[in-house]
Amino acid sequence: MTQPSARRIESARNAIFKDLRRALSGREIRKSGLVLVSGPKTIRDVLQAFPDRCEAWVNREGQPDPPLALPPGAAWFQLAAGLFRELDIFGTDAPLLLVRTPPMSAWDAAAPLPMGCTLLVPFQDPENVGAVIRSAAAMGVTNIVLLAGSGNPYHPRAIRASAGAVFHASLMSGPEIGALPAGLAVIPLSGEGGDVADFQFPERFALLPGLEGPGLPAAMRSRALSIPISDRVESLNAATAVAVFLYLWSRARR
């Protein structure tokens, strides 16, 4: 396979560099559908599983050239060291990969829920979004809905927290919490709810964890479940609480 020629970029005013920098912003990623992926393991996985989504190899002089797995037609941008450090937000000092994000279909909130757990993700922090998607994938959740206002699952911090699981998960976009159908079989998860250990999981349900900070709407708290913890700790991280819940659900299902 023919390797592309490197296009050298030396200036921060370069239009390509500006586009690459935008591929680190959640808002810009939504607009362009392009994200910079970091981490050798995640990059290898994306190259192997989704070569058609790989748009460009991004490195600095002295770093590895594009691998043979880079698809034909993909570009190679070689940046000045200072420019590369600006894009290498995790300090990996390893090449980056420009990837086109998969489209998200719209979730039909009025349709009957499928068997199992449908995870509703309200989190605004991209790291929480990525972490909860990783946990859901690990526990066998196949229906993941990103509610309106949630962080971008393809933000670089979400990709990193998910260890690349966001590219393999089937993600859907949903409404705001307040627009969820009244008859939806929702299990709210909140710090002040009943003990999840005493709960009998239904065959199909939607899990709704509380938003970081404000938690759940008041109307949902009275029927919420919780993960019991020591009174010496105020609360669990929201994504951690979901991981514990999904483990208990997965164990009960088996």
Domain end call among 66, 100, 134: 100
| pLDDT tens, residue by residue, 151-174 | 999 999 999 999 999 999 999 999
- Mark whether 66 and 32 lie in a shared domain: yes
CATH of the domain at 184: 3.40.1280.10
Tokens 């919490």 belong to 177
CATH at residue 33: 3.30.1330.30
| Claim to verify: residue 121 and residue 210 sit in the same structural domain | yes
Same domain, yes or no: 90 and 144: no
Residue 46's nearest CA partner among 158, 171, 169, 168 is 168
Using the structure block, give the residue that is written with the tokens 């605004």. Answer: 124
- The secondary structure of the chain as a DSSP string is -PPPPPEEE--TT-HHHHHHHHTTSHHHHHHH-EEEE--HHHHHHHHHH-GGGEEEEEEETTSPPPPTTSPTT-EEEEE-HHHHHHH-TT---S-EEEEEPPP-EEP-TTSPPPSEEEEEE---SHHHHHHHHHHHHHTT--EEEE-TTPPPTTSHHHHHHHTTGGGTS-EEE---GGGS-TT--EEEEEEEEEEGGG----SEEEEEEPBTTTBS-HHHHTT-EE----TTS----HHHHHHHHHHHHHHHH-
pLDDT in tens, 46-67: 999 999 999 999 999 999 999 9
Which residues face 106 on adjacent strands?
A: 173
Q: Measured between alpha carbons, how far is 197 from 154 in angstroms, rounded to an integer?
A: 33
**Do 93 and 155 belong together in one domain?**
no
What does pTM read for this prediction?
0.92
Task: Quote the number of domains for the chain.
Answer: 2
Instruction: Give the domain range for residue 122.
Output: 105-253
Cα distances from 82 to residues 33, 88, 114, 171, in angstroms, run 25, 10, 50, 35
Of 99, 83, 76, the closest CA to residue 18 belongs to 83
Listed residues 60, 75, 100: the one ending a domain? 100
60 located within any domain: yes
* Sequential pLDDT tens for the chain (254 residues): 567 899 999 999 999 999 999 999 999 999 999 999 999 999 999 999 999 999 999 999 999 999 999 999 999 999 999 999 999 999 999 999 999 999 999 999 999 999 999 999 999 999 999 999 999 999 999 899 999 999 999 999 999 999 999 999 999 999 998 899 988 999 999 877 788 888 899 999 999 998 766 667 777 777 888 888 777 776 678 889 899 999 999 988 87
CA dist., res. 162 & res. 228, Å (int): 25
pLDDT one-digit tens code per residue, 207-236: 999 876 666 777 777 788 888 877 777 667
Looking at the fold, whether 66 and 137 belong to one and the same domain comes out as no
Cβ–Cβ under 8 Å, residues 62 and 68:
no
Q: Would you state the pLDDT for residue 54?
A: 97
Question: Are both 172 and 133 inside the same structural domain?
Answer: yes
76 and 184 in a single domain? The answer is no
Please classify residue 33 by burial: count the beta carbons closer than 10 Å to its beta carbon, then call 0-12 exposed, 13-18 middle and 19+ buried.
Answer: middle
Where residue 69 falls (left for φ over 0; alpha for ψ -120 to 50; beta otherwise) is alpha
